[in-house]
Chain A
Amino acid sequence: MTKRLGMLTRARGAALPVLTIVAAIFVIWYIAAATMNLQWERDQAERAGVEFVLTDALANTMAQERPVLPAPHQVAQEIWKTTVEKKITSKRSLVYHGWITLSATLLGFLFGTILGMALAIGIVYNRAMDMSVMPWVIASQTIPILAIAPMIIVVLNAVGISGLLPKAFISTYLAFFPIVVGMVKGLRSPDALQTDLMRTYNASANQTFWKLRLPASMPYLFTSMKVAIAASLVGAIVGELPTGAVAGLGARLLAGSYYGQTIQIWSALIAAAILAASLVAIVGIIGRIVERRMGFAR
């Protein structure tokens, strides 16, 4: 009870500053939108030969069709229009595009988690693997996979693999790294006292793994999974860029940039942000439930 109360007051303690910052961001956004879009209004007025009236122009900056920086409410309107008011099967629906990106993200995340856990178990239980694979796992992340993404897509397309899988592979590559690092740390987290206890019980290696090491690694695993799922979303979005803008949030970004549809770019961007935030939150909640049921003191 007291713990819950403590969490509540802490949450309330952070709420006001966070809200202030968010409000400040919106204010800055509006001011920036007004100043950046003003030039266009000035040009329009000059071209039309009308006298330039600042107040009217300022009002107009909030409602341009292709603004340099769309105002927040324009983006919100666009999101509302493309999610709620469109059928989700429509090619113009953000839900449709979001789902395509989401499915690639989830598949890649799943592959990445399985691969990462398998590698971590190998690294923890095999010294040769620890010494030879671990440095390359770290080195692998300095290779900008996002830069290779277009090639992977095009090459796999040439072999006849297209659609979901190539994007999922890119997500996998980004997602497996945090999982490996976190899992290795987690599987090694039981201290000498605990492993000694298992030894006094005459536990087999198998039993030590299932009853001590794996449970002990769970908090580490979920922390890594939060990083991994955000990374796999980035992978899926970038994976969509070179496919020639067919479908998905990345395709919306690319199409928007080709046709100068800034509102469309921003709405895809915000949709991606919402998706990322909810995915991370969901993993976090699952993690908290699992940890509570396992009896980790919180």
Chain B
Amino acid sequence: MNWFLITGALAFWIAAWALNVWLANRYPHSRAVRLFVPTLFGVTLLVLWEGIARGADIPTVLLPPPSMIWERLINSLPILRADFVQTFLKSALAGYVMGCGAAFLTALAIDRSPFLQKGLVPVGNFVAALPIIGIAPIMVMWFGFDWHSKAAVVVVMCFFPMLVNTVEGLRASDAMQRDLMRTYAGTYRQNLLKLRLPAAMPFIFNGLKICSTLALIGAIVAEFFGTPTVGMGFRISTEVGRMNIDMVWAEIAVAALAGSMFYGLVSLIERAVTFWHPSMRS
């Protein structure tokens, strides 16, 4: 037990919290404060973690301190890069593009048939709530150990949330706008390209954002059921077995970073595409 470290970490926590409260109440509308306050909170969590993990002598097999994880991360960049390429660039991204693309095209294909829409939307909603991750063993059996099976899982996971959101989005234009298009004698194609697809964009991006987190999860979990000897899920499950918990945390840090950046990228594109939407104008 090193009480100095623990009390130090706790003191830092209290001081940071007091500063945050003061800042939040003093300058609630300042942009810099809005960025600084959550950052300080995140730093506080890391300091607390480091202080308690080192101060209370928690065995590193259970909870390695952040500094140790960082060191491991820096020292094993090649492995991490190989895993990242296998899991994120090959499985998750390929599956994401195929799944979302297929759902989008399906939504367009059934756009002219209200009957199919009425049938597919409740079924899609139902399937979206199911534990689809369970098909991972089946896909591994069908498509083999390499990234194809992981991409297949991601395709299925992304398909239904995306389909439901796109169908909903295509209905989002209101009667007045459609009437206007009619008075312009707009064809179905023009209607779709100039009015309904742009109006559907907020919904489509909602689906894309949901799928961006699902894709990484699907790819990683599918690797638990059999992989070549590379990949984030493979690394996590084997390093846990070898009690290299710092390596596992390094892998998790990479996954979290990749997931956040992917989500952030989709949000940025959304901001550029749906700049007209009220939620973007604040």
List residues of chain A with CB under 8 Å of any chain B CB.
13-14, 16-22, 25, 68, 127-128, 130-136, 139, 141-144, 146-148, 150-151, 154-155, 158-159, 226-227, 230, 233-234, 237-238, 241-242, 249-250, 253-254, 256-257, 260, 262, 265-266, 268-269, 272-273, 276-277, 280
Binary flags per residue of B215-249, CB closer than 8 Å to A gives 1, else 0: 01100110011100000110011001100010010
Q: Please, which residues of chain A bring their CB within 8 A of the CB of B236?
A: 147-148, 150-151
Given contacts A17-B116, A18-B118, contact A144 B133 (CB under 8 A): no
CB distance from A239 to the nearest CB of B (A): 11
A-B contact count (CB 8 A): 166
Would you call B28 an interface residue if the criterion is a C-beta within 8 Å of the partner chain's C-beta atoms? yes
Interface stretch among B17-25, B96-104, B272-280?
B17-25
Given contacts A148-B236, A234-B131, A242-B237, 12 further A-B contacts (CB under 8 A): A17-B116, A18-B119, A132-B38, A132-B41, A147-B232, A147-B252, A226-B129, A230-B131, A257-B138, A265-B137, A276-B131, A277-B129
User: Is B15 in contact with chain A by the CB < 8 A criterion?
Assistant: no
Taken together as a complex, chains A and B put the C-alpha atoms of A131 and B23 apart, in Å, by 10
Cross-interface CB contact of A144 among B63, B134, B142, B259, cutoff 8 Å: B259
Complex alpha-carbon distance, A176 and B191, angstroms: 41
Inter-chain CA distance A268–B245, complex, in Å, is 31
> Contacts A150-B224, A280-B129; is A131 near B134 (CB within 8 Å)?
no
Q: For chain B, which range describes its interface: under 10, 10 to 19, 20 to 34, or 35 or more residues?
A: 35 or more
Which residue of the partner chain B has the closest CB to A250? B134
From A139, A143, A254, A273, contact of B252 by CB (8 A): A143
**A21:B120 contact, CB within 8 angstroms:** yes
The 10 closest A-B pairs by CB, nearest first: A17-B119, A257-B137, A132-B41, A21-B119, A142-B259, A17-B118, A128-B24, A147-B220, A128-B21, A143-B256
Question: Are B41 and A136 touching (Cβ within 8 A)?
Answer: yes
Take A131-B37, A132-B41, A260-B141 as given contacts and tell me if A146 and B245 are in contact as well, using a CB distance cutoff of 8 Å.
Answer: no
29 A-B pairs with CB atoms under 8 Å apart are A17-B117, A17-B120, A18-B119, A18-B122, A22-B123, A68-B142, A128-B20, A132-B24, A135-B38, A136-B38, A142-B256, A142-B260, A143-B252, A144-B259, A147-B216, A151-B236, A151-B240, A151-B248, A227-B129, A234-B131, A254-B137, A257-B140, A257-B225, A262-B138, A265-B134, A269-B131, A273-B130, A273-B131, A280-B129
Question: B126 an interface residue at 8 Å Cβ cutoff?
Answer: yes
Question: B221 contacts which of A17, A20, A147, A266 (Cβ < 8 Å)?
Answer: A147
Q: Are B233 and A132 in contact (CB-based, < 8 A)?
A: no
- Cβ–Cβ < 8 Å partners of A134 in chain B: 38
With A128-B20, A128-B21: A139-B134 Cβ-Cβ less than 8 Å: no
Describe B's contact surface by its main secondary structure. Answer: helix
Interface residue ranges, B against A (CB under 8 Å): 17, 20-21, 23-25, 28, 33-34, 37-38, 40-42, 45, 61-63, 115-120, 122-123, 126, 129-131, 133-135, 137-138, 140-142, 213, 216-217, 220-221, 224-226, 232-233, 236-237, 240-241, 245, 248, 252, 255-256, 259-260, 262-263
Complex interface: chain A residues within 8 A of B63 (CB): 155
Q: Considering the chains assembled together, what is the distance between the CA atoms of A246 and B251 in angstroms?
A: 27
Q: Which residues of A have CB within 8 Å of B137?
A: 253-254, 256-257, 265
Partner of B24, one of A131, A150, A238: A131
Q: Given A13-B118, A151-B236, A154-B240, decide whether A128 and B37 contact each other with a Cβ distance below 8 A.
A: yes
Which of chain B's residues have a CB closer than 8 A to the CB of A262? 138, 141
CA distance A257 to B131 in the complex (A): 17
Are A128 and B130 closer than 8 Å at their CB atoms? no
